Amino acid sequence: MNPEDLISSFLKNIPKDKIPLIILLGPTASGKTGLSVELAKKFNGEIISADSRQIYKEMDIGTAKIKKEERQDVPHHLIDAVLPNENFTTFDFKKLAEEKILDIQKRNKIPFIVGGTGLYIRAVIENFTLGATPPNWQLRKQLEEEASQYGKEYVWKKLKALNETEAMKIPPNNLRYVIRGIEKVVSSQWSVVSKNKNSCFQKNDNKYHILKFAIDWPREVLYDRIDKRVDKQIEDGLIEETKYLLSKYDRNLPSMSSLGYLQIAKFLNNEMTLDEAKDLLKKETRHYAKRQMTWFSKEKEVVWINGLNI
């Protein structure tokens, strides 16, 4: 079934007490942006971006942010929400996304959530609420001892092994934040399925009637799309954009650890050649896409659409 038929069928069967919510998933460079605009136009929709990097203002080329002229008058939300030096969490996203969903629904339009940040999407559709993450003193002591013995980067690599996305937000030499990151990741991995009332993520009854579909490509095709997109980003001014951002913001900010900016910053800092930075960006973007697909493959009730047939 193609996406249009899928949505048409879905919209004919909305329970009276539920808000329709369409989720479009897919790895980076899979074509979510273009397809979402076409579908939102056809079905009177508005788009809520679920991208943990496109929330940042001034970060356009490196995040593959949709240009205003490409939006075709379809309203887009949660793009350019905060500055690169401002903090933004999963629960900030959930709160703002829920407000946008209600606003869109009240205007008799259809909310689409589109993006590749799986945790953002899951927080909304599984209705996570934030509980306390109590300190794990035994874990903290162990990690502090390991940092003292083996170095701070050793502990940071532990966080990277647990959650690379979270690790890339924190400088390896910031031991306190690294330890807290490990603590939160360990806690959340347990508490997503825990019945403990103090869990970090608690699931509640959902108010949405949800359609989830995802774009799937043969791996070699997706990797080729990624490589071509990186070349286009360089051509479009990624180096200049990175240089501008580094003139305003600290290189160690979580936002500046984003794919593209991290690698180009290494080139600008004479840590590698431009060709090496491009090759590294392509490689790490492919790895990121692979992790996204692993995440999405575990999502329930996803209809997979072959990108070759769109």
Same domain, 26 and 172: no
Residue 160 phi/psi, 5° resolution? -60, -40
Same domain, 27 and 85: yes
Same domain, 28 and 144: no
Number of domains into which the chain is organized: 3
Same domain, 83 and 177: no
Same domain, 176 and 236: no
CATH label of the domain that carries residue 229: 1.10.287.890
Q: In what order do the strands lie in the sheet with 208-216?
A: 76-77, 45-49, 110-114, 19-25, 208-216, 302-306
Q: Are strands 129-130 and 201-202 parallel, antiparallel or unpaired?
A: antiparallel
Give the chain's length. 310
Same domain, 207 and 233: no
Please give the DSSP secondary-structure letter assigned to residue 56: B
Same domain, 91 and 214: yes
Same domain, 212 and 157: no
Taking the C-alpha atoms of residue 116 and residue 72, their distance in angstroms, rounded to an integer, is: 21
Query: Could you tell me the maximum CA-CA distance found in the chain, to the nearest angstrom?
Result: 62
Same domain, 162 and 83: no
Same domain, 67 and 203: yes
148: containing domain: 137-191
Same domain, 213 and 225: no
Q: What is the pLDDT along the chain (310 residues), one digit of tens a residue?
A: 799 999 999 999 899 889 999 999 999 999 999 999 999 999 999 999 999 999 999 999 999 999 999 999 999 999 999 999 998 888 889 999 999 999 999 999 999 999 998 889 988 988 776 554 566 777 788 888 888 877 888 888 888 877 877 788 888 888 888 888 888 776 654 444 333 333 444 455 578 999 999 999 999 999 999 999 999 999 999 999 999 999 999 988 888 989 999 999 999 999 999 999 999 999 999 999 998 998 888 888 899 999 998 8
